[in-house]
Amino acid sequence: MSAVLIAGCGDVGGELARRLLADGDVVYGLRRRAHLLPAGVRPVAGDVGDPVSLHPMPAGIDVLCYTAAADARSPEAYRAAYVDGPRNVLRVVARTSCPRRVLFASSTRVYPQSAGEWVDEESPTEGDDVYARLLLEGEAAVREAAASSVVVRFAGIYGPGRTRLVDRVRAGEACTGAWTNRIHRDDCAGVLHHLLQIERPLPLYLAADGEPATQCAVMAWMAERLGLPAPPTADTGDGNRGKRCRNARLVASGYELEYPSFREGYGAVIRDMAGGAR
């Protein structure tokens, strides 16, 4: 049994919490709206951007998992959530605990590649995107503060209630031929759970499903599944844009995806939506 603190315990963190509780772990969930935490999670109400609000912090934390997400698409919000937030939490936790493992949720946004290239943990991340730079600064801050840190760069997250792309297909919106990469919410939680359990994780993993696909391929599949006409294509160029995320390191670590491609994952999302509509 371990004591796990999930800082930023929202969609992914909440699903991870449910899995850890089923294992018999003690789970603390940190968020501002602590009343929204899943049943069984011990609430820690606080703002990661405000160190004073992080007291009192429970002592004896064995594992820290940082999954807070920025409130807005602005450099200030990214700095608060991905740079200052993990620094503050690590500092406050270190006063009463010495976690044996620290996980940090980052994003594949750190890769600037945009001509259909394959990227993995070894790929260059230098680019001029301010949001990518802030995520990389957060990754570095966590690595510096915790020798036992593991950074996980998630692709676009979808899952229950995250139906934006399905809604676009239903609205008859156009698609593009750019490469897209995704991972189901349950696999995000599954990956973090797995990386908490294996003996010697590497310091960095890219977490995406096994099938990068063009946006048009995903939306056309959804349209067929929904019995709708194929979405019009908005592309004029050769379509080889975006990047393709390779998850080979994660798979080699022993992780088996619950949703290996968008077909299984969005199939479940669409089934849930149909169930909810009845």
Ligand X SMILES: NC(=O)c1ccc[n+]([C@@H]2O[C@H](COP(=O)([O-])OP(=O)(O)OC[C@H]3O[C@@H](n4cnc5c(N)ncnc54)[C@H](OP(=O)(O)O)[C@@H]3O)[C@@H](O)[C@H]2O)c1
Enumerate binding residues for ligand X (CB under 6 A): 8-13, 30-33, 36, 47-49, 67-69, 71, 81, 105, 107, 154, 156-157
Nearer to ligand X, 32 or 244 (CB): 32
Q: Whose Cβ is closer to ligand X: residue 8's or residue 190's? A: 8
Rounded Cα distance, 108 and 217, in Å: 20
| Nearest residue (CB) to ligand X, 50 versus 224 | 50
Closest to ligand X by CB, 48 vs 146, is 48
Q: How far apart are CA 272 and CA 278, in angstroms?
A: 10
**Cα(226)–Cα(222) distance, integer angstroms:** 6
Of 107 and 113, which has the nearer Cβ to ligand X? 107
CB of 43 to ligand X, least distance (A): 11
User: Smallest distance, Å, CB 87 to ligand X?
Assistant: 13
Cβ of residue 27: shortest distance to ligand X, in angstroms?
Answer: 14
Residue 58 or 233 having the CB closest to ligand X:
58
Least Å from the CB of residue 162 to ligand X = 8
Cα dist from 80 to 51, 73, 132, 146, 263, whole Å? 12, 11, 14, 19, 35
Rank residues 32 and 263 by Cβ distance to ligand X and give the closer one.
32
Closest residue (Cβ) to ligand X?
10
Q: By the 8 A CB rule, do 214 and 177 touch?
A: yes
Smallest distance from the beta carbon of 147 to ligand X, in angstroms?
Answer: 21
How far apart are CB 108 and ligand X at their closest, in Å? 7
Count the neighbouring beta carbons within 10 Å of the beta carbon of residue 112.
16
Least distance to ligand X, CB of residue 186, Å: 12
